[in-house]
Structure 1
Amino acid sequence: MAANDYRGYLRNHTAMENGEARLHTAHGTHRPLLFGTLAVMGLLQVASSVTVLLHLTGYLQEVNLSSAEPVQETHSEHMMADALRDEKKREKPRKKNDQLPKAHLPIKAPIDFSSTDPNSITTVYWDETRGTHTKVQYHDGRLLVEEKGWYYVYAKTCFRYAPDHATRKQDVSNVQLLQYIYHEIHTQPSKSRPALLSKSGGTLQWGNQNYNLYCVQQGRSAFLNKHDGIYVSVSNSWMLDPEPEGTYFGVFKMSK
């Protein structure tokens, strides 16, 4: 019995040695793989740390922006070029037939109105050569429209009197300076009176100052048919200022 226990002890001792030997062999086999894994993890940690550091310093951001800018600029240039081409297409110059009717004429000088009658109303004549008009004709002091529609009509007349330079001595202590805008309807008989569109002016008491000036300006909308005419008349026309900046007449179409 004791011999059997001794042999069991020896057998167990041998098995334990064999087991330890196999354990040492297994550890010896996996040790290089373990070291390699640790080395790779260390390298990844170092790379991650370097990447974070570069982001914090802004280096990578600058590199990304510098590499992305040329693409973005090229894309923007193409968009701007396309927009400019579209704008040029939309801004094609109007043909003459497409232009809106309009006219602006300064007063015709020199002025030679012989009447000094304060009750006399005289039609003003305008300088076609110094003015502009498109699809509106000028004849005998009148603007004649070529298209019917709603127009804005305007006129400005300036009156001045300087006793020392006047060709005629006139009492201007109580003088009326009036401006009228008339509408001649083309279809009405020639003997019919034109329609009065607007009237403006005032009564002046100038006295004997060296220089006296008074201006009347008015404007309004009116519906004009084709070939209708408009013109301006004033009282005391002999006092009209011949400067084109002070006395002028015009019209432009607003809508159909």
Structure 2
Amino acid sequence: MAATHEYRTYLRNPVDMEAGQHRFHQPVPASEPSSRSLLIGTLAVMGLLQVASSMAILLHLTGYLQEADLSTAPHRPIEEVHPKPIVNALKDTRKKGQCKHPKDRMLASAHLPIKVNQGFPKKVEKAIVIEWDEVHGTLRNMSYQKRKLLVTVPGFYYVYAKTCFRYYNLGGLEEMPAVDVSNAQLIQYVYHESFKQNSKAGLLMKTGSTMRWNNTSYNMYCAQQGRVVYLDKGDALFVNVSNAWMLDKEAEGTYFGAIKFGN
């Protein structure tokens, strides 16, 4: 009975009920300030990371665009792209020794056709020096004097000569020539005079043939030869032929020359 009385007393006192509710529902200390600080710090770190990644992407794209611009842009002289100190450093200093101004590196050549108005005695088989036409020929850093081609620039030369011989009798059997050409020796000699050896002449080339021609028909034979030889300054070249009176005096058939191609 005592318990029932207490229970009823408890139910009848609303003040006590409210006090009990307040005891059971006391507010818990809030952690809102610390959570807010943590949230702000997280957002700040994420913002910094985003800015850094954006800057990295921007720098990468900028470098790529510069490379593309340089590869597609028209090539300009190196002087326009780099300053003079860099240009001077990039220049090849070895080219300084490749100047073509020195005389020993000059080109030299000569081509001389046979001189037309020169006569040779018949019945003379002995070799005679040919005279060449300097006026209608070409000379470059070489000279011609007394039927000889003179060297002014030392070096390796290709020396060549061509001589054509011909004989024909337009008169027929009634006007038989006094010279027998049935066994004609047509020989070409090219000589080299060395300035260092007191202009002593030495045989450089020789070619030819013995022709058995018919006195009543047109006959022609050409001898041509060439070779490489080293020539010093002051050396001379000349050509001898046997039976020179039968030489073909046309520029396309008989000529003489030399070409320098190396030091």
> Which of the five TM-score ranges fits, normalised by the shorter chain?
0.5 to 0.7
- For 1:177, the equivalent position in structure 2 comes to 186
Encode CA deviations 1:174-228: one digit per residue, 9 max, x unaligned. 11000000011123346xx5110010000001113234343433334333343x1
Gaps of 5+ in 2: 1-71, 75-99
- For 1:120, the equivalent position in structure 2 comes to 126
Matches within 5 A, 1:77-226: 99-115=106-122, 117-164=123-170, 169=177, 170-189=179-198, 193-207=200-214, 208-226=216-234
Change in Cα spacing, 1:255 to 1:108, as seen in structure 2 (3 Å) is: same
How many angstroms does 1:245 deviate by? 0.7
Per mean C-alpha deviation after superposition, the further-off stretch among 105-114 and 162-171 is 162-171
How many angstroms does 1:143 deviate by? 0.6
- TM-score of the two chains, using structure 1 as the length reference: 0.58
How many angstroms does 1:71 deviate by? 8.1
Letter of the 1:224 partner, please give it.
D
Let me know the Cα RMSD of the aligned residues.
Answer: 5.5
Larger Rg, first or second structure (1 or 2): 2
Letter of the 2:186 partner, please give it.
L
How many angstroms does 1:98 deviate by? 6.3
Which contiguous aligned blocks of 4+ residues in structure 1 show a shift greater than 6 angstroms?
165-168
Work out the percentage of aligned pairs sharing the same amino acid: 42
Change in Cα spacing, 1:171 to 1:131, as seen in structure 2 (3 Å) is: same
Q: Using the alignment, how far apart are the partners of 1:137 and 1:168 within structure 2?
A: 43
Change in Cα spacing, 1:105 to 1:165, as seen in structure 2 (3 Å) is: farther
Q: Using the alignment, how far apart are the partners of 1:248 and 1:165 within structure 2?
A: 29
How many angstroms does 1:148 deviate by? 1.7
Indicate if the aligned counterparts of 2:112 and 2:133 stay in contact, CA closer than 8 A.
Answer: yes
Indicate if the aligned counterparts of 2:156 and 2:228 stay in contact, CA closer than 8 A.
Answer: no
Q: Using the alignment, how far apart are the partners of 1:230 and 1:71 within structure 2?
A: 59
Q: Using the alignment, how far apart are the partners of 1:119 and 1:183 within structure 2?
A: 22
Q: How many residues align?
A: 230
Encode CA deviations 1:102-132: one digit per residue, 9 max, x unaligned. 11110100231124x3531100010001011
Q: Using the alignment, how far apart are the partners of 1:150 and 1:131 within structure 2?
A: 21
Change in Cα spacing, 1:71 to 1:252, as seen in structure 2 (3 Å) is: closer
Which secondary structure state, in structure 2, belongs to the residue aligned with residue 194 of structure 1? strand
Gaps of 5+ in 1: 1-69, 73-91
Q: 1:241 aligns with which of 227, 248, 251?
A: 248
- TM-score of the two chains, using structure 2 as the length reference: 0.56
